[in-house]
Amino acid sequence: MRIDKRTVIYSIIALATAAMAFVVTPMQVKNIIALNKNILKLREDIDKVHEDVASKKETSADIEKIKSAIAARQNKIIGYQDISSLQAYISAKAKINGLELAETAALPPTKYKKIGETSLVHIPLNISLRGNFHSLGRFINDLETGEYSLSVADLNVSGYGQQQTISLGIVALAKE
């Protein structure tokens, strides 16, 4: 059997094609699959970094909001010597809301908390008023959301019609 040049060339081409099909191509496919896996992992890592950055920005913003709220709350705490200013404030709020203030009496303070070097006390205030329910509601809202750290502890309303007699117990937070 005689092998001519053409047969040898076709045989070499066939062997090269077979080698490409069965050796080189699977290696390339394997490399491509590995690279795709690496790309997917890197994309996941990048997404995690983006989420972490966004989370840190949100946390930072939340921390600033909390610090701001704490500062605002601290500014609402009066000094124990400022009771007369507080009583004047309450009187002004009653007048603005259409209530007639009969009496404001501060009772002795009670210890509340010690935070660091600062001792906080509760100062109970008894307030007697005359007015209607709508005015009372606005008045209480003004006190609890206003300039001082105040909360309503007790409320008694008596009477019928447009004018009720109101007895209000308020607690002020103060620095000792």
Rounded distance, CA 41 to CA 45, Å?
6
The predicted-structure confidence for 106-126, as pLDDT tens digits, reads as follows 888 888 888 888 888 999 999
Alpha carbon 9 to its chain centroid, in Å, reads 78
- Burial of 10 (C-beta count, 10 Å sphere; 0-12/13-18/19+): exposed
Residue with more model confidence, 137 or 176: 137
Helix (H) / strand (E) containing 84? helix 83-96
User: What residues pair up with 168 in beta bridges, in sequence order?
Assistant: 127, 155
**Averaged pLDDT, 56-63:** 80
Max mean pLDDT among 44-53, 63-72, 149-158 falls in 149-158
Assign 68 a pLDDT band (cuts: 50, 70, 90): confident
127: burial class by Cβ within 10 Å (0-12, 13-18, 19+)?
A: buried
Q: What is the pLDDT of residues 119-148, one digit of tens each?
A: 889 999 999 999 988 899 999 999 999 889
More confident residue, 95 or 175: 95
pTM of the model: 0.61
Q: Euclidean distance between the first and final Cα of the chain, in Å?
A: 117
Of the segments 9-18, 56-65, 137-146, which one has the largest average pLDDT value?
Answer: 137-146
In this prediction, residue 101 has a pLDDT band, given cuts at 50, 70 and 90, of very high
β-pairing verdict for 150-158 and 118-131: unpaired
* Paired sense of beta strands 100-106 and 78-79, if any: unpaired
Report d(CA 150, CA 103) in Å as an integer. 17
pLDDT band for position 1 (50/70/90)? low
Helix-strand-coil percent breakdown of the chain, rounded to 5? 55, 30, 15
**So what's the pLDDT on residue 140?**
93
